[in-house]
Amino acid sequence: MYKYDTYDQKMVDTRVEEFRDQVERRIAGKLTEDQFKPLRLMNGLYLQLHAYMLRVAIPYGTLNGTQMRTLAHIARKYDRDYAHFTTRQNIQYNWIKLEETPDLLAELASVEMHAIQTSGNCIRNISSDQYAGAAADEVTDPRPYAELLRQWSSFHPEFSFLPRKFKFAVIASDEDRAAMRLHDIGIQIVKDGWDKVGARFYAGGGMGRTPMIAPLIREFVPIGELVSYAEAILRVYNRYGRRDNKYKARIKILVHEMGAEKFIEEVEAEFVHLQGQNIDAPAAELERIIAHFEDPAYEVGLTEDIDRSDPDFAVWLDQNVSAHKQPGYAIATISLKPIGGIPGDASSAQMDLMADLTEQYSFDECRVTHSQNIVLPYVRKADLYALWQKLDEAGLASPNLDLISDIIACPGLDYCSLANARSIPLAQKIAKRFADIDRQKELGELKLKISGCINACGHHHAGHIGILGVDRKGTENYQLLLGGSGAEDVSLAKITGPGFTEDGIVDAIETVTDIYVASREDGERFVDTYRRLGMDPFKEALYG
Amino acid sequence: MKILTGNELKSGDVVWWTGYNWSRHVSDSIEVGDNVDQIIAREIAARTVNDCYIIDAERTDTGLLPVHIKEKIRATGPTVRSDLKIAPPDPAAGNWVI
């Protein structure tokens, strides 16, 4: 994985000291809250419902054991012994003290981490495929290109005050595990007919109050011009994006209102203008970055056999372990979705254990997924049973990847000052209702996603089943949505009709899954049956 | 009925105006009415809180409580982690929301 050079480290260290000075000036009264707020937000420090919340960037979701252990240490020393992995592959601490934040950031910097650009109208943490570098279906590892974009976008003076926040996702396989087309810019690394690497660009996607699927902007950009094409899109957005209304300021609104064709014309004109200005990284720099992501030292001649005699292990193996490009290896997903637990939360002890397992079993590398789980990307098949035993002992071996209890849920009204309704208790109730693993497996792949408000941090638009919490005259109410997907079959979910109470929505989910089970054809997932039948039978069962 | 709340500057903790200082327990709140501009200006200037505002409240057996669910959760802590709950004198405080 990428290691900071002296420039990276200096930038982060300098920012820590700059923020330390700003905090001291705020506490001393030399800065008002109005003056200080944008400064703390640029360093990922929000004021949430109960306290300050710090969002720490995890570039493309990749961590080593030392970094994971430091995240555990920070949870123990500066927070309340736990933290929350987010749908942006980041981590959040919910109970941070302003006066301790500079010391916390210094500890993060010591392991090449920071909270820069995790808030504000700038280019945010770049997300990617959690199986990058290990997936059998990718054309190349997408992370060097995500890293190049990270370096380009960090402290980019022209793009520090965009009309609104801006999110990239970079993948390199046809299977989309990163909700790529629901980003401001989605990039798929591809190869052309001559085996040359390039980037397919999508722009203008997103969730929130106006969900949009990003249209294709350019089929192939030579990889050497990745940065200048991204810059061309950002320049067009920065010039024409609306600043008069924050709800219409995202690039998706610009692309929609301008029309994709006209938007492309503008981008291409800007791209021509930028060519020859030498803003792309020299080939040697890209090679330097790529070298950081070379394959680990795989052993060869390893056994492919796995002893399945422990039935509980076999269930986990079938559900949470994925194919690897390297013979003898597998990709293992650690579920942070125990039945009745809080999706994405991990205790310090669990993070310490995951750090140990990362070092012991996965070439010192793990990944945070946008589904709020943790991936060990390089596990020898021969080690899977020992790994599972240690996970099971720590409550981290729920065999529910992509099943109905593998719920994405935002923090909701339990933590978030923007939320209208709670998400977590609902996720807990649904998981308990469908706790039986045989029943979950019988339902098959079913992506259930819950947001506590229209901002859609819980990706409800992209759920096979989505739930949106709303405030109905001071009472929590939940709208049900069906038919969304953040994968390569991307689609936006549609609202079924009037909302439900907290208990009513759990019953409603059982109702729609019953319709699916009764109506499905061979091999159909929930979303396939919904697409074939349409909304009517589900609506009829829900509302009569 | 109105009470005044804010977040302590250094810790970020949720605090409630008691009439002469700030408490972490909502049950210590006093009714402030609508005219609190002077208190807000003075407390922000003193840097005890980074922001403060008035909210609707109602009188109960144990004192004043927020009316809206968001402020109730703010007053008591996350409903999903009983170990993180703020423990005001009311033994039934945990039932305010769920």
What chain A holds in terms of domains, given with CATH numbers, is 6-109 (3.90.480.20), 134-290 (3.30.413.10), 311-393 (3.30.70.3340), 408-543 (3.30.413.10)
Contact A130, A61 (CB under 8 A): yes
Which amino acid is residue A94, in one-letter code?
N
Distance between CA A458 and CA A448 in Å, rounded? Answer: 10
Given a cut of 70, the residues of chain A with pLDDT beneath it are none
For chain A, say whether B50 makes contact (Cβ under 8 Å).
yes
More confident residue, A510 or B28: A510
Please indicate if any CB of chain B lies within 8 Å of the CB of A346: no
Q: Classify the phi-psi angles of B46: left when phi > 0, otherwise alpha if psi is within -120 to 50, otherwise beta.
A: alpha
Q: Residue with structure tokens 């292990």? A: A313
Structural domain includes residue B48: yes
Rounded Cα distance between A449 and A486, Å, is 11
Inform me whether the C-beta atom of residue B31 falls under 8 Å from chain A C-beta atoms.
Answer: no
Q: Is residue B97 part of a domain?
A: no
* Amino acid, single-letter form, for residue A250: R
Min Cα separation B54/chain A (Å): 15
Q: What is the ipTM of this complex?
A: 0.91
Strand partners of residue A475: A472
- Residue B9 domain flag: yes
> Nearest 5°: CA angle at A38, between A37 and A40?
65
Smallest Cβ–Cβ distance between A425 and the set B44, B69, B98 belongs to: B98
Whether the CB of B95 is below 8 Å from some CB of chain A: the reply is no
- Tell me which chain B residues have a C-beta less than 8 angstroms from the C-beta of A419: 70
In this prediction, residue A322 carries a pLDDT of 96
Which residues are A465's β-sheet partners? A448, A482
Question: Could you list the residue range(s) of the whole structural domain that residue B54 is in?
Answer: 2-91
- For residue range A248-260, list pLDDT tens digits in order: 999 999 999 999 9
More confident of the two residues A295 and B96:
A295
**Which chain A residues are closer than 8 Å to B11 by Cβ?**
51, 97-99
Q: How far is CA A490 from the centre of its chain?
A: 16
Are the beta carbons of B70 and A424 separated by less than 8 Å? no
In Å, how far is B62's CA from the nearest CA of chain A? 22
Tokens of B58: 């109602």
pLDDT at B93: 54
Q: Which of residues 58-97 of A touch B (CB under 8 A)?
A: 80, 95-97
> Is residue B60 in a domain?
yes
B-chain residues near A98 (CB < 8 A)? 9-12
Which residue in B has a C-alpha nearest to residue A419's C-alpha? B70
> Residue A205 in contact with residue A252, Cβ under 8 Å?
yes
Sign of CA dihedral A430, A432, A434, A437: positive
- Report the percentage of chain B scoring pLDDT > 90: 55
The DSSP H or E segment spanning A285 is helix A283-291
B18 in contact with chain A, both atoms CB, cutoff 8 A: no
Residue in A with minimal Cα distance to B52: A33
Calpha distance A40→A25 (Å, rounded): 12
Taking the CA of residue A32 and the nearest CA in chain B, the distance in Å comes to 9
Residues A301, A473: Cα–Cα separation, whole Å = 65
Measured distance CA(B73)–CA(A233) in Å, rounded: 42
| Residue B98 belongs to some domain of the structure | no
> Does residue B59 carry a pLDDT above 90?
no
Residue contact B79–A414, C-beta within 8 A: yes
Q: How many domains does chain B have?
A: 1
Residue type, A305: D
B82 touches chain A (CB under 8 A): no
In this predicted structure, the answer to whether residue B88 has a pLDDT above a threshold of 70 is no
Q: A161 is written with which tokens?
A: 């005050």
**Residue A301 CA neighbour count, 13 Å, CB half:** 0
- Name the nearest CA neighbour of A129 among A329, A377, A354: A377
User: What is the rounded CA–CA span in Å between residue A86 and residue A167?
Assistant: 14
**β A127-128/A448-451 pair status:** unpaired
Contact present, A110 and A191 (Cβ < 8 Å): no
Q: To the nearest 10°, the Cα dihedral for B90, B94, B96, B98?
A: -160
The band of B98, judged by pLDDT with boundaries at 50, 70 and 90, is: very low
**CA–CA separation, A141 and A378 (whole Å):** 14
Nearest to A95 by CA among A105, A85, A106, A84: A84
Round to whole Å and give the CA distance between A237 and A234.
5
Question: Closest partner residue to B69 among A52, A80, A413, by Cβ?
Answer: A413
Pairwise CA distance, residues A78 & A231, whole Å: 38
pLDDT confidence of residue B50: 86
Compute the mean pLDDT over every residue in chain B, rounded to the nearest whole number: 85
Considering only alpha carbons, which residue of chain A is nearest residue B12?
A51
Q: What angle do CA A62, A66, A72 make, to 5 degrees?
A: 90
